Amino acid sequence: MFWRFGGYASISTIDTLLDKPDVSLEELLDESEIIQELKQHNTKLIEYLREDNVLKRLMDYVIAP
C-alpha cells in the first residue's frame, strides 16, 4: 500500500515481505499491520493467503490443539 506524504511514497512492510520469493506465513503473521492491510484489501496479501498450501497451514493453526 502506498501512502503519500510530501511527495514521498512509503511501501508497507507487508508488501516488502511479499516481494521476497521465500516469504513465510509466519513472517506475515508476525507483522502488526497485517489486520490493517487486510481491511484495506491489500491484493498481494489476499492472493498469497488464498494459496492452497497457505490456507491449509492457516486451518492447521486454527484447529490445532
Give 17-31 pLDDT, tens digit per residue: 999 999 999 999 999
Q: How far apart, in whole angstroms, are the C-alpha atoms of residue 64 and residue 57?
A: 10
> Structural domain tally of the chain?
1
Q: What is the pLDDT of residues 31-60, one digit of tens each?
A: 999 999 999 999 999 999 999 999 999 999
pTM: 0.79
> Of 12, 62, 51, whose CA–CA distance to 35 is shortest?
12
Query: What distance lies between CA 39 and its chain's CA centroid?
Result: 11
Give me the domain span that covers residue 27. 2-63
